[in-house]
Structure 1
Amino acid sequence: MRRRLPASLSRSIVAIAMPAVLALVAGGCARSDDVEDEGQPHAELSGVLLDLQLDEISGLAASHRHDDVLWLHDDGGNPPRLFAVNDRGGRLATFRVEGVTKTDWEDLAAFEFDGKRYLLIADTGDNGGLRRTLQLHVVEEPATLENARLQPAWSIAFRWPDGARDCEAVAVDARRGEILLVSKKRQPPELFSLPLRPPAGELLTAQRLGTLSGVPAPDPERLKRAPRRARIDSQVTAASLSPDGRTLAVMTYRHLLLFPRAEGANWADAVAQAPRVSVLPWLPQAEALGWAADGGSLYATGEFIPAPLYRITP
């Protein structure tokens, strides 16, 4: 969470920073010193987030109900709200989520369950490692893109099995009735699961499934040049499950990892195998990732305004 600047100052900063953002994007979308050593997916600039309401974006999911529409939410310290934007980054509508307390929203997932389309909001951030319980809120995806208020269809309260941890990456496997959660700061990252539709009112304990293999370690040269940044490069900041339910995409501050799940395998087996790893295009603090509704690409953006909105074809 960051201290918010006055709107007039924020607009000035956006105006000044915008040419630099476009120059970085036009310069190849990736850090030139990374490409020789690691693969780079094809990334196209879909749009740019310029709206000051879209500062601190920490969750992204592609709509399964509206063509070329993305859902976004922002970090803690802001009202409990969801934004509908087009695939160029323009805000279409804002939805206030009522009846919930927003502590630290960190990820967003879109899914279909029992014939309805839903969005899952993950209030799972815990920078200080102090939260005893965390919440997941499920809202039905709005049919109309007009400013409105939403109520959760259901909420899930849970805790970790062995003490607090930060978590910014959550995905939904509706076919298996399972929510997947990936820890942020522990190395290697840990994978947990929760039931998607548990009995109401219960405090659940997340089940630890295993750890993620293949998360790149800090590069020695990067450690010399930018030690602080290099040490956090491998922290997981978002996750998303492909619409066919077969590939878990995981984002760190520097990389995109794809974990395919073989027929008959579970997610513990899938993340134990070496993933496909590629370097992300340039992003100002990579925080939000979501598969496109057609499953052929992923959208990604960062936390600061202005921020590029990419469509990445792995």
Structure 2
Amino acid sequence: MRFIRVPTAGLRALAGATYAASPVRPRMRKAWRTLLPALLALVLAACTRSADTPARTAVSGFLLDPQLDEISGLAASRRHPGTLWLLDDGGNPARLFAVSTRGLRRATYRVEGVSKTDWEDIAAFRLDGRDYLLIADTGDNGGLRRTLQLHVVEEPRALENDRLRPAWSIAFRWPDGPRDCEAVAVDARRGQVLLVSKKRQPAELFALPLRPRDKGIQTARPLGHLAGVPQPTPQDLRKRPQRARYDAHVTAADVSPDGRTLAVMTYRHLLFYPALRGQGWGRAVARTPEARLLPWLPQAEAMGWAEDGRSVYATGEFVPAPLYRIRR
């Protein structure tokens, strides 16, 4: 076994700088100082790989801000270089966070005019010369929701605490009954929103129009099933039966900036589905993907392509959490 090149001193300096700049209340600083060494040890242990695997993972930063607990979606800004957009789970206010690639919260935006049931993913895209974010209110743990919502907001010009309102929204339903969905992506070139079911095996891929012609409730169109999603082995089920049952659940998805590759994340793996020229996404996901084992993450639920299209950012749902940059 070997460590990826992430120097301990560099990690400590990065974590220290992130901690020093984060708005942690004074009475909590002692607790954070206690947590940071444990977090660093976990991250370093998680960055191990077998000797035949090239170093593809870097620790970009740390999420230490208590406001960034329960993060369930991540997208790299198309308008503000070096900025990530994050959103949190249901039960929290309708808001978006602008965060640096080191994990420092730069601004918080309230999203007005919408209700928040269970926000689970966010996607950044460019359309007609403007930069947008799609918010996916698609979580449905109990399988009870008859309709779900997608909200599109334009990226703000300045990174400062402010309010946003949707440019448009899409109400939709599934063609054959409720299902949970935490992975939503946008293919602006094809004018599609892609949705991947979470719990069903094999995972299902659906599409919706990005700009529907009518304002009525849309019906998601099935495109196919995802091939090659790694399943827990019998050994996994014996050693960690509670967690292994969820390893293959899909928690995030994103289309690369060039529109050629769909990245999909489960609780344990990162999968890349390239689309050949002229090939739709239904055929692309029917082929065996390129798979990567994720480094340690506290409930991996947030992932998005970097703006250069050569790597993805990924983080977990609980604070403190590392923010990784994983090169394809």
Please report the TM-score for the alignment, with normalisation by the length of structure 2. 0.89
Please report the TM-score for the alignment, with normalisation by the length of structure 1. 0.93
Match of 1:175 in 2: 189
Which stretches of structure 1, 4 residues or more, deviate above 6 A after TM superposition? Answer: 7-12, 38-41
Q: Counterpart of 1:162 in structure 2: which amino acid? A: D
> In 2 relative to 1, CA 39–260 (structure 1 residues): closer, same or farther, beyond 3 Å?
farther
Where do 1:267-306 residues align within 5 Å? 267-306=281-320
Of 30, 47, 65, which aligns to 1:29? 47
Q: Counterpart of 1:275 in structure 2: which amino acid? A: P
How many residue pairs were aligned?
A: 304
> In 2 relative to 1, CA 113–28 (structure 1 residues): closer, same or farther, beyond 3 Å?
same
Deviation at 1:258, TM superposition (A): 0.3
Deviation at 1:11, TM superposition (A): 6.7
Of 222, 235, 240, which aligns to 2:254? 240
Distance 1:117 1:279 in 2: 32
Q: Counterpart of 2:238 in structure 1: which amino acid? A: K
> In 2 relative to 1, CA 265–163 (structure 1 residues): closer, same or farther, beyond 3 Å?
same
Q: Counterpart of 2:297 in structure 1: which amino acid? A: L
Distance 1:81 1:313 in 2: 29
Q: Counterpart of 1:157 in structure 2: which amino acid? A: A
Contact 1:158 1:203 in 2 (8 A): yes
Contact 1:40 1:280 in 2 (8 A): no
Of 124, 146, 150, which aligns to 1:110? 124
Q: Counterpart of 1:27 in structure 2: which amino acid? A: A
Match of 1:42 in 2: 56
2:285 aligned counterpart, secondary structure: helix
Q: Identify the range of structure 1 (125-134 vs 198-207) with the bigger mean alpha-carbon deviation.
A: 198-207
| Residue segments in structure 1 that go unaligned for 5+ positions in a row | 1-6
Of 72, 89, 111, which aligns to 1:97? 111
Distance 1:246 1:199 in 2: 26
Contact 1:136 1:157 in 2 (8 A): yes
Q: Does 1:19 align with 2:37?
A: yes
Deviation at 1:256, TM superposition (A): 0.3
Q: Does 1:120 align with 2:120?
A: no
| Residue segments in structure 2 that go unaligned for 5+ positions in a row | 1-24
Q: Identify the range of structure 1 (291-300 vs 18-27) with the bigger mean alpha-carbon deviation.
A: 18-27
Match of 1:3 in 2: none
Distance 1:189 1:40 in 2: 29
The CA RMSD over aligned residues, in Å, is 1.8
> In 2 relative to 1, CA 181–41 (structure 1 residues): closer, same or farther, beyond 3 Å?
farther
Match of 1:144 in 2: 158
